[in-house]
Chain A
Amino acid sequence: MLTDWWTIALVTVGCAFFLAGTVGLLRFPDVHTRLHALTKADNVGLGLICLGLMIHDGTLPGILRLGFIWILAIFAATVSAFLIARWHESAGTED
């Protein structure tokens, strides 16, 4: 099935983004670059995984729910990254 291959491809690329984000979180030197790795890679990774699962699901309620999960995660990740960066600024410590 062609759709199955699309799902496998999208989810695999999404997982690769997660892997890259995790490596970045572990290896990058300071708070800002780590946040960059985490939020960017996780958002794209989760988006791709959700997209792959949407193709696999194929029903409208399922697609809407998966899209909703992605949007909620993006919102939460944005604000938490902002709060961590702001805490880092106010603490004024080099990490």
Chain B
Amino acid sequence: MPVSDLLASGFDVLLCIGLLWLAWQAITGTGLFRSVVMFMVFGLMMAVTWARLGSPDLALAEAAIGAGITGALLLNACRAAVSEMRSDEQPLRDRPSGVPKWLALPLSLAAGVGLAWLMHSIPRDGGPTPEAAIKAAETHFLDNPITSVLLDFRAIDTLLEMAVLLLALVGARVLLDQRRLPALYPVPDHPMPMLPSLLAMITPVLLLTGLYLFWAGSHAPGGAFQAGALLGALGVMYQLAGRFTPTHEPGTVNALLITVGLGLFSLFACLSLLWAPAPLSHPEQGAYALVLLIEFALMLSIAATLVLLFVGSRSLQLRRSTNHPGGRQ
């Protein structure tokens, strides 16, 4: 075996051990914060693993959504839980929840066994589907096979994913209203020095990268989910730097941004019945422009939903920059 192969296998073995160790640390860690950080590092290692397995699309999505945005959401929840524990209210974990904790083990085992059984029932060579998919992808009007699967072959999955995302936001809103959690991350009165310069530098870079990923999605690794996650990360940074003010009246622009992806996609599903027997079929003419339009709407909705999930408020408003020169918090 050549030395380079040996090195590569050694790296893969290290990656596997590291993943298992990080997962174990994230579950059994002593503190909430520690567990969240371990989970984020796990996400990054997972992204490296996907890249090693030759799936740059998944690697991008895992790094942006799995490690980045989910990590930020978990840190937010961790902070809310800690401040709730410190307040006079009864701590979160002592409340009777009605569901015993030990149920988690048999439930996740059952889910795992069920999934494994489902996977086992798929024929070893995948049946006729892979061949048909590869053949169809070769002549497809989208050059990226991943995007043609997401927006054509299995467009119904993407449509339902968008519905899940919207439901998640609605569910989070309902829970926040019921529990009256403390305001997460109050807007700082005085902007911290250095943060504005970082924002000024990172805004064009993230915008460019996000729009590039959206554009590249039709012929190279990228797409609406990765681009939306990047733009969502930009929104999270704006919120943390106090450029966004959370508001409790849902604004029209916010509502539009959240629903435009699912709305446009559903509209397309209905309209496509005009020219095809099945919903979500692409027309002969102008399919490429249609895909770009839908992808753009999906990207906007994903970004807006992720930011609003992070902020935990009904909507956001860009506030005029109030610079207090030399102001310290």
A82:B329 contact, CB within 8 angstroms: no
B195:A79 contact, CB within 8 angstroms: yes
Q: How many A residues, CB 8 Å from partner? A: 9
Chain A residues, Cβ within 8 Å of B195: 79, 83
Interface residues of B in 175-217 (CB under 8 A from A): 192, 194-195, 198, 201-202, 205
Q: Which of B198, B205, B329 lies in contact with A79, CB distance below 8 A?
A: B198
Cα A83 to Cα B205 in complex, Å, equals: 21
Q: Specify the chain B residue showing the minimal Cβ separation from A86.
A: B192
Q: How many B residues, CB 8 Å from partner? A: 8
Instruction: For the complex formed, measure the closest distance between the CB of B243 and the CB atoms of chain A, giving whole angstroms.
Output: 15
Cα A33 to Cα B270 in complex, Å, equals: 61
Tally A-B pairs: CB < 8 A: 14
**A72 CB within 8 Å of chain B:** yes
B329:A72 contact, CB within 8 angstroms: no
Instruction: For the complex formed, measure the closest distance between the CB of B135 and the CB atoms of chain A, giving whole angstroms.
Output: 33
Interface of A is mostly: helix
Q: Specify the chain A residue showing the minimal Cβ separation from B197.
A: A79
Cα A75 to Cα B194 in complex, Å, equals: 10
Interface residues of A in 55-89 (CB under 8 A from B): 72, 75-76, 78-79, 82-83, 86
Cα A2 to Cα B194 in complex, Å, equals: 42
**A93 CB within 8 Å of chain B:** no
A75:B201 contact, CB within 8 angstroms: yes
Max chain B C-beta neighbours (<10 A), residue from A76, A79, A82: A79
- Apart from A76-B198, A79-B198, A82-B194, list 11 A-B contacts with CB within 8 A: A72-B205, A75-B198, A75-B201, A75-B202, A78-B194, A79-B194, A79-B195, A83-B192, A83-B195, A86-B192, A90-B329
A-B contact pairs, 10 of them (CB 8 A): A72-B205, A75-B198, A76-B198, A78-B194, A79-B194, A79-B195, A82-B194, A83-B195, A86-B192, A90-B329
